[in-house]
């Protein structure tokens, strides 16, 4: 008897503003990875900014709820779950849904606003961070099976980011909210070696960098001191675009503020998976990284 065809996994892709406008090579790596894994990513042209779960929410909470609900309504119409490439976008979309479930008066306000622009909100859309899709929906065994160039000998310090799993009651991730392990599991599946360090949960400082750069530099200094003193990490892995930018650009700020010479490449987890899946370095946009990882990767046999 013929076997049943494998059901294709379909998600609406929510790449987020920062990735699409400032670091689009991350989206490229993610699309490569998901295509290899047999995941169909649907583009939703009418998606807007999530919007930002810190600045916009604190400035105008009702606008934050309304714009977030508008994005959710678009995927309610398609019927597909959402996969987000960004911690902040995931927090906003999940947070808006959570608040509108808990506060009927806010939901009534938002529903009324959306009706005026021809949109309906039911609260039925599902939102997942890309790490959850990789770990839970696809699974580590399938990821391992597609590795053609394992990241053997690559030691990786992981920065998960504040908005990935907290606040836990709102994010409701299956990962451990206080000590996330999904990134480490995925990195081990592609042959890399995650290196634990004490300040792995320390904020990168992105949220305060514009308003209090001294405080942001201090947090970043503490994090990099922990990495450099406690590990032999060759790269720093991120899964949030704001964190990615802060961890890269912030290294220049550390040299200026403290004379601290840090030159550690920062790679998105999808970039590391793409390498393991055989994506050529020339196709990845690595030349756009502030701290070029090319020399290191070539020394490990990547081309």
| Whole-structure pTM value | 0.96
pLDDT of residue 207: 87
Residue 2 pLDDT greater than 50, yes or no: no
pLDDT band at 256 (very low <50, low <70, confident <90, very high): very high
Write down the residue that tokens 């099976």 correspond to. Answer: 145
pLDDT of residue 279: 97
How high does pLDDT run on average in the chain?
A: 95
Residue range 262-278, pLDDT digits in tens:
999 999 999 999 999 99
Residue 1 pLDDT greater than 80, yes or no: no
pLDDT band at 258 (very low <50, low <70, confident <90, very high): very high
Q: Looking at residues 140-164, what average pLDDT do you find?
A: 97
| Ordered domains of the chain (ranges, CATH) | 9-129 (1.20.1050.140), 148-299 (3.40.50.11810)
Residue range 72-87, pLDDT digits in tens:
999 999 999 999 999 9
pLDDT band at 17 (very low <50, low <70, confident <90, very high): very high
Q: Looking at residues 41-58, what average pLDDT do you find?
A: 94
- Percentage of the chain modeled with pLDDT above 90: 92
pLDDT of residue 180: 97
pLDDT of residue 157: 98
Q: Looking at residues 231-255, what average pLDDT do you find?
A: 97
pLDDT band at 6 (very low <50, low <70, confident <90, very high): low
């Amino acid at each position: 008897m013929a076997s049943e065809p494998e059901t294709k996994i379909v998600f609406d892709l929510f790449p987020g503003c920062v990735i699409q406008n400032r670091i689009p090579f991350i989206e490229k790596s993610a699309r490569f990875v998901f295509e290899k894994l047999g995941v169909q990513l649907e583009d939703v042209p009418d998606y807007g900014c999530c919007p930002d779960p810190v600045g916009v929410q604190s400035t105008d909470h009702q606008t934050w709820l309304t714009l977030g609900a508008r994005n959710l309504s678009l995927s309610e119409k398609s019927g597909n779950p959402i996969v987000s490439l960004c911690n902040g976008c995931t927090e906003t979309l999940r947070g808006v849904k959570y608040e509108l479930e808990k506060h009927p008066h806010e939901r009534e306000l938002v529903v009324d606003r959306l009706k005026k622009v021809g949109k309906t909100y039911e609260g039925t859309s599902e939102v997942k961070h890309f790490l959850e899709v990789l770990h839970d929906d696809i699974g580590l065994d399938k990821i391992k099976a597609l590795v053609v160039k394992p990241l053997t000998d690559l030691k990786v310090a992981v920065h998960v980011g504040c908005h990935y799993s907290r606040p836990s009651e709102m994010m409701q991730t299956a990962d451990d909210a206080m000590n996330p392990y999904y990134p480490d599991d995925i990195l081990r599946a592609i042959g890399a070696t995650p290196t634990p360090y004490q300040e792995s949960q320390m904020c990168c400082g992105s949220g305060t960098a514009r308003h209090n750069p001294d405080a942001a530099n201090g947090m970043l200094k503490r994090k990099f001191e922990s990495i450099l003193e406690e590990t032999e990490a060759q790269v720093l892995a991120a899964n949030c675009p704001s964190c990615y930018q802060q961890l890269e650009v912030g290294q220049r700020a550390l040299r200026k503020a403290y004379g601290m010479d840090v030159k550690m490449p920062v790679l998105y987890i999808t970039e590391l998976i793409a390498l393991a899946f055989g994506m050529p370095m020339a196709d990845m946009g690595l030349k756009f990284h502030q701290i070029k990882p090319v020399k290191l990767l070539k020394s490990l046999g990547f081309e």
